A and B are shown apart, each in its own frame.
Chain A
Amino acid sequence: MNPAAPFLPVLILIALASVVAVAILALSGWLLPKLKPNNPQDAKLLPFECGVPPVQEGARHRYSVKFYLVAMLFILFDVEAAFLLPWAVTYKAHAWTFWAMLSFMATLLVGFIYAWGKGALDWER
């Protein structure tokens, strides 16, 4: 049997959702515009900033979102989860792997405690 066959209904659902979304956007964007109001004005076309004219052109400046560290930590722990998933489903049959897994978790835990102690998790720093 085709290995993709069980996923066919899911693929059909994705296709259905995409088609419906495109149809709605097409209806609203191309078929109905004759029926709906269309009177752009200068003030209306400005970026909305609570009624105040924008100070700078565009909005793609640098923001301090402190995203870098969060993203690094996320990758660490998400990879941990990715390692744990195949272990978790077979754990029932291989219960002796607990200590092996604990050594892996403990390594990560040490890193986590280090990051915490260093203040990497403090947002307002």
Chain B
Amino acid sequence: METLASLLHTSPATAWMAVKVLMAFGLIMGIAPPLTWAERRGSAMIQDRIGPNRAALFGKIRILGLVQALADGVKFFFKEDLVPPHANKRLFWLAPLLAFVPAMLGFAVIPMGRSFLSGGTEYHLSLLDPGNGMGMLFPMAVGAMAVYGILVAAWSSNNKWAILGGMRASAQMVSYEVGLSLAVIAIFMVTGGYDPHEIVKAQQGTFLGVLPNWYVFRQPFGFLVFFVCMFAEANRLPFDFAEGESEIVAGFHIEYGSMKFALIGLAEYGHILGASALITTMYLGGWGIPFVADHGQIPVIVTFLVFLTKVIALCLVFIWVRWTLPRFRYDQLMNLGWKKLLPISMANLLYFAYRMRG
């Protein structure tokens, strides 16, 4: 750390801050394009097709079609950038920005690895150091911001499909936020704090002798609610009512093209990554290695790789679910949110509160 800082002529704290910010941003920007490729290849595998495999660098390097992600990026830049005359120009330009920025904050407070000592100072692998009293409230607040991008895009497009999609998205997000927050409160209660570092620490060791001490095993019903709500918050199938290709064509981004569309698309994959990181931290032990109670001797890079493995595995689950389940009907979505998930998460909270009572 000191060598890096002296190379950059700054203090170690500043250098570390720059590293952290670049990591949180670079992880999402770096994983999202390959994730689009994984989505298309994965869907092709599930549907017994081939999927993108033609794009090649210099006519040779294909890497299983991974170059397609690069080609898509270049193509987006050179597509006609049409702003329809019936749209509100300013809001139409603002919407991709509003969608993109909250999505890029997915890793903002997530601890991505073990904290370590270097030169007498403790460094944390998360943008928010422990002990400031906010912790996991931040990703929940930012997650709620995501609906603004969709609503502004829908409204400014002045298109019937778009507005229908935006309305659906807002009602859906609002309905699933309730069950989500009650499920999360049960975690905060058992941990005794909002802090993601504490939540990860509370999940180390073994549970019942045979399972990792993760909240997914200790609060399976809370996990179920949180997991389902994360699909709804990320607007993924089976809950992608904002887009619903077969019903409202492409929903809120129907009038978008070129790089504005690419930003909205990146935001979607950013939300998947953010949701995976949240699930990992809250329920799957974060950067903790299963069954290991003391991480003091394990290299920081190993804990980081463990975290990354869990996040990417969850992203693949998101893709797997998308191409396996059909879309819900809208009344089914509302029934599930209000009549099933909300009572389950309430009962989950009350059960754990009752067990801890004085």
Please name the residue on chain A nearest to B97 by beta carbon. Answer: A21
Assembled-state Cα–Cα distance A5/B215 (Å): 31
Chain A residues contacting B157 (CB-CB under 8 Å) are 47, 59
Given contacts A47-B158, A92-B356, contact A21 B178 (CB under 8 A): no
Q: Is the CB of A36 within 8 A of B80?
A: yes
Given contacts A77-B342, A105-B350, contact A17 B104 (CB under 8 A): yes
Chain B residues contacting A77 (CB-CB under 8 Å) are 178, 182, 342
Contacting residue for A98 out of B108, B178, B353, CB 8 A: B353
Q: Is the CB of A49 within 8 A of B128?
A: no
Chain A residues contacting B162 (CB-CB under 8 Å) are 59
Number of interface residues of B (CB under 8 A): 81
- Closest CB-CB distance, B231 to chain A, in whole Å? 19
Chain B residues contacting A91 (CB-CB under 8 Å) are 189, 192, 353, 356
Q: Is the CB of A84 within 8 A of B255?
A: no
Identify which of residues 81-116 in chain B touch chain A, using a CB-to-CB cut-off of 8 Å: 81-82, 84-86, 93, 96-97, 100-101, 104-105, 108-109
Residue A110 at the chain B interface, CB threshold 8 Å: no
- Closest CB-CB distance, A2 to chain B, in whole Å? 12
Contacting residue for B192 out of A17, A33, A65, A92, CB 8 A: A92
Q: Is the CB of A9 within 8 A of B78?
A: no
* 15 residue pairs bridging A and B, Cβ less than 8 Å apart: A13-B21, A13-B127, A17-B104, A25-B96, A28-B76, A28-B260, A35-B78, A45-B84, A47-B255, A65-B168, A88-B189, A89-B189, A98-B354, A121-B334, A124-B331
Binding site for B on A (CB under 8 A): 6-10, 12-14, 16-18, 20-22, 24-25, 27-29, 32-33, 35-40, 44-50, 54, 58-60, 63, 65-67, 70-71, 73-74, 77-78, 81, 84-85, 88-96, 98-99, 101-102, 105, 109, 112, 116, 121-124
